[in-house]
Amino acid sequence: MTSDSPDAPGARRNASTSLRRALSILMHLAADESHPHGTSLTDLATGLQMSKSTVLRLVGPLRDTRLVDQDPETGHYRLGPQNALLGQLYLERLDIRRTAAPLLHQLAQDAREAVHLVSFDPPEIVYIDKVESPQAVRMHSRIGGRQPAYCTATGKAFLAHAAEDVVDRTIAAGLPARTPATITSPEQLRAELARIREHGYAVDDVENELDIRCVAAPVFDHSGAVTTAVSVSGPASRVTHDRLTEMSRQVIETARALTDALGGTAPTPR
C-alpha cells in the first residue's frame, strides 16, 4: 500500500479532518442566530477560524448534497432542505423507549424508587415505560395504565406547558378529589402550573393516591413542545418532603438528558 492510497493512514486522517471541519460548517450555520437569512463567507471563515479557501473547498460537497444552500443574490450560506429530510427520518425512526431506557434505569438506581416514562392523552396521562423500585414496597402502576392529568405530577408537568385550550378542556372534564390533598379549584390548579413552569418540575403531593408522592419533569421535542415526562414515585414515608429537593434535581437532569437525546430544546427554569 502506497502513501497515495485512499486507505493509507495519512489519507484516512486527512479525510477525517475534512469531514469534521465540513460538519462544523453545518453546526455553525445551525447555531448562528445572528444571521437568520444566511451567513457570508467572511463570517463563516472568521467564526470557524478557517481560511476562506478552506471554507469554499469544504462547502462544495455540502452544496452538492443540498445540506447547504447559497443565496444567489447575496452569496450567503444557509442550511439546505436535505437537513429537513434527515431530521424527519430521524424522528420517524426514533424509539423513545429504547432511547430513554438507560436514563430511566440510572434514575431508578440513584433515587431508589419507581421511575415512569409517560405520554399525554388529555385529560389523562399514559404510562409507556416503567422501572421498578429496588425496594420491597412498590407501586402498583403498569405500562399502558392511565391516570388523570390534573392530580399527577407528570400530568401537571404536561399541563404547565400545554396550550390554554388543553388546560381548559382538562378542567372542564372535572377535578374531583381523589385524596384530601387533591387540587380541585381551577384557580389553584392554574397557580400550580405557573409554579411548575417557573421551577421546572411538578409534584404530586399525595394528590392522586393515598400515601404516594411523586416528582416529575417534562421532556421537550425539537419544536419545544412537551412530548413525554419522567417521574419518580414512591410511598410518602420514603419520598418525604426533605427528599424533594434532591429528587427534583435528579428528575430534571434525567428529563434534560432525554430532551438532548431526542434533539429537543428545553426552556431554562429560574
Percent of the chain with pLDDT over 70: 89
Domain extent for 27: 9-90
Which of 57, 90, 123 is a domain's end point?
Answer: 90
> Is 50 exceeded by the pLDDT of residue 1?
no
Specify whether 244 is located in the same domain as 113. yes
Instruction: Determine contact, residues 93/141, Cβ cutoff 8 Å.
Output: no
Domain count, the chain: 2
d(CA 69, CA 67): 7
CA dist 29 → 87, 151, 260 (Å): 16, 43, 19
pLDDT tens digits for range 97-142: 889 999 999 999 999 999 999 999 999 999 999 999 887 665 677 8
Instruction: Determine contact, residues 200/253, Cβ cutoff 8 Å.
Output: no
Which of 56, 90, 124 is a domain's end point?
Answer: 90
Where is 227: in which H helix or E strand? Answer: strand 226-235
Specify whether 99 is located in the same domain as 169. yes
What is the band of 240 on the pLDDT scale with cuts at 50, 70, 90?
Answer: very high
Specify whether 59 is located in the same domain as 83. yes
Specify whether 60 is located in the same domain as 145. no
Alpha helices in the chain (DSSP H): 9-31, 41-48, 52-64, 82-92, 96-111, 153-160, 164-172, 186-199, 244-261
**How does DSSP classify residue 269?**
P
- The residue that leads in pLDDT, 23 or 35, is 23
- pLDDT value of residue 5: 52
> Is 80 exceeded by the pLDDT of residue 200?
yes
Instruction: Determine contact, residues 33/73, Cβ cutoff 8 Å.
Output: no
d(CA 76, CA 88): 25
Averaged pLDDT, 25-52: 89
CATH number of the domain enclosing 52: 1.10.10.10
Instruction: List the grid coordinates of 30.
Output: 445551525
- pLDDT value of residue 14: 66
